[in-house]
Structures are given as structure tokens and as C-alpha cells.
Chain A
Amino acid sequence: MVMIDIKGVSKWYGEKQVLVDCTTTVAKGEVVVVCGPSGSGKSTLIKTVNGLEPFQKGEIIVDGLSVGGKDTDLAKLRSRVGMVFQNFELFPHMSVTKNLCIAQEKVLGRTADEAHDKGLKLLDRVGLIEHKDKYPAQLSGGQQQRVAIARALSMDPIAMLFDEPTSALDPEMINEVLDVMVELAHEGMTMMCVTHEMGFARKVADRVIFMEKGGTILEDCSKDEFFNTPRKPRTQDFLSKILAH
């Protein structure tokens, strides 16, 4: 079953085209890694999936609902798709617990107790229960990102979008975040991840999408094919450079 269906999506910023006829799918339970050089539109593409970035051409269907559709309740659709950002984007004026509860209460209408229970359970799961009363600024980058993942999970999402979740982290904090993501993948979460962490891709990805400067999808294939027998010379070149050391 296809969870995310991206069909011929194009996007322009004024005159400049940043996505060119992008087409791909993410099946239920599938983990898809999107990689490519900067300026290839990876982050833009993943943000079109929950409508944070509008697009001018094409269609995106998430769990049967068209993202750009006139009758689509975009807020409701977004509440069912979790997103994790490069810069964590925890709400700095709220405690960790409040960060985890606010959308559960305001968007899903859960009671304060329900939201609290759920939030703390997830916080425990990402190993940060002792930090529940702290504010985001008191946590390390890796801890903040784990809270952000817990916050997204608190909405019981049907799929998770990761937009370079480890790019803003110190090297020694990358693994604690990747561990949480690997665990999620093993549990069967549908995931679309923009990342340069090829170790993560090797470990849990089902498919890898390679995007090239200008916003085109150059390669979209299984993980084994991508790492062992990439078809395009450009992909081989990219891989040889990032896997050289």
C-alpha cells in the first residue's frame, strides 16, 4: 500500500525552478532515504509532502488525501504526518513536557492527563525522562532532537518525515539520534529521511533516492542497487566522494 505518492511535482521560486517533475512513492512501512548535494531540493521536496512548501505542478497523495487539494484539511493531514527538522524547532518558551503535550491537547483534543502520560512515555523511550521539566535551551543538540522526535511521535503519526535530522549536531551526538531512528524503522514506521548518513541508509533503508542540483530525482532504487550498482555516473561520482574515507 502506497502511503506517500509524489507525482510529477514541480516548484518554482519566482523564475527559478527548484523541483523538476519529481515522482516517487513511499509504501507503508518503507524507509526511504533521500540524499544528494546541497541545492538539489531534498529539503524542499520533503516539505512539500506535508504542505509546508507549496508546489505549482503535480500532485502529492498522502494516505489517500491530496496535499494541495481544495477540500483537503491540511492541518488534519499534517497532524497525522510527523516531521523532524534540521534545527529541532522545539518551542523554546515551553518546558520539554509542554512541548510534548501542546499539540496533543490543542490539535487532537486529548485531555491534559492523556497527553502527559503519552508524552512522558515517549520521553522515556528516547531516554530523556529525567529532563522532563527542563527547557530546550538546557539540553544538548542531540537531546533536543530526540525530544523533537518524541514530540512528533506523540501525535501517533502514520508516517515520519526527517529533514536532515543530524546535520546541525556535533559529531558525537549524531548516533544517539540515529539510534532512535533505527529503532523506529525496525518497528515498521513509514519513514522518508533526507540525510547524508549513509551508514543509516545502509542499515535500515529500503530505497534510496538521489537528487541532483536543480531539483531532479536522478536515481530511485533499492538500497543494494544504490550502493553496489548505481546506474548513473553522477551517482557513482557522488558515492565515491562521500564514501571515500
Chain B
Amino acid sequence: MLELDWNIVIKNLPLLWKGMVLSLKLFAIALVGGIFFGTLLAMARLSSWWILRKPSQWLVDAIRAIPFIMAIFWFYFLTPKIVGAFTGEQGEAIGPFWSAVIAFILVESAYFSEIIRAGIQSIPRGQPWAAYALGMNYWQAMGNVVLPQAFRNMLPIMLTQAIILFQDTSLVYVVGLKDFLGAASTAGQISGRVVELYLFVALVYLVICFSLSRVVKRLQERMDVGRT
């Protein structure tokens, strides 16, 4: 029988908390950045201008074709070189955290752009027409009329994507960042009690993500009622 010693978890709580803070920080930055740039990408993809539409489509397709973990690796190894090329400095010019942030924002923009694009397309054409007919320009029509409705329609799917994003933040473990999972792993290796720590990590992820999906489900039910 497996004998579990939960004291090891309690002992490492400060370390795990620090890891969780990093996970949440990465999550928040990636979420905000992903939605912001994802919105711009979605608008570019729906543009009538070829020069905006095609490149944004290539970018989204390319990013979605790469395993997430590859993007994190690449940015970790590439950004110091790119930054170095500009500044002449060597080594870890921006560090693992910010290279991970860039990778996350890039990848999440691509995922969110597909969701937001569908959201924009779900708005009847008469809505931007009415905005334009009142003299609004493209940005005013988008910002006041189309996007608020698109986001509202897409809220459940965007939250679902946010849950996936939260789980994906644990991937930064591969570049040596001490996120929640990374912290648990370190603590586990030092103490030799890997099982308890990984069980605890799994439980925390489960509780957070499961409660968030319940929220999504509630939201969806409420929106369905609102439609009829």
C-alpha cells in the first residue's frame, strides 16, 4: 500500500503559493494580451483588404499548427538571440518569464482570434450598417456596436478557452519556470515525496477548472433562456 504523508504538502505551501502566483500572473497577462491581439487579428482576418486578411490568416494557421510547447521552447531560445541582435548583449536578455509571456500571448491571440472572428460574424450585417448610417467610422462601429455584442455571444466559449489557457500555463515548467506545477516538482524532488505533491497539484487544478466550467455552464443556460 501507498503511504501518504500530507505534511510534505503543508510544509511546502509557501513555495507552492509562490508558484501559484506566477501561474496566475502568466494566466492574466496571456488572457488580456491574447484577447486584445486576438481581437485585432480577427478584425484583420475579416478585413476587405487582402494585405491584412491573408497574412493574418497565415499567421493564425501557422500558430495553430505548432504544438504549444514548441512555441514556448522557441521563444525561450530565440528571443535572447533576437534581442541580442538588436542590443548587442548576450545571454538571457529578457529571461524565461517574459519569453514565455510572449509565446503565450502569440499562441492565445491565434486561438482567441478564431473565437472572436466567429463572434463578429454572428452579428447581423444590419448592426454595423446602422452604426455606419449614423456616421460612425469603422473603429466606432466595432467598439460600440459590433464587438460588445460579439463578446457577449462568445463569453461561454471564451471562458472555456480561458480554462484551457490556465491549464496550459503549467507548460512553462519546461523552460525551468517555477509555476505551480514547477514548484511542486521542485519540492517533490528535494523531499522525494513526489506523489503527494503531484496529487495535490492535480486536485487544485481540478477544483479551479471544474468550478470555472460550472460557471460557464450556468452562463450558457442563462443565455439560452435570454434568447427565447
Contacts and interface: CB of A to CB of B under 8 A. Distances in A.
Contacts of B149: 91-93
Nearest to A83: B133
B129 A79 contact: no
A143 interface: no
A102 B132 CA distance: 12
Given A102-B144, A106-B144, A91 B127 contact: yes
Given A93-B149, A106-B140, A107-B140, A78 B132 contact: yes
A4 B99 CA distance: 58
B192 interface: no
B152 A93 contact: yes
B126 A78 contact: no
Contact of B132 (A75, A80, A90, A92): A75
B134 A107 contact: yes
Q: Name, among B129, B133, B136, B152, the residue most crowded by chain A CB atoms within 10 Å (CB to CB).
A: B133
Q: Which applies to chain B's interface (DSSP): helix, strand, loop or mixed?
A: helix
A85 B134 CA distance: 12
Given A93-B148, A93-B152, A103 B129 contact: no
B133 A107 contact: no
Nearest to B146: A91
A223 interface: no
B132 A89 contact: no
Interface in B138-164: 140, 144-145, 148-149, 152
Contacts of B67: none
Interface string A94-110: 00000000110011100
Contacts of B129: 47, 52, 85, 89
B135 interface: yes
- Which 10 A-B pairs give the minimum distances between C-beta atoms? A79-B135, A89-B130, A103-B134, A83-B133, A107-B135, A89-B126, A78-B135, A75-B137, A75-B135, A93-B148
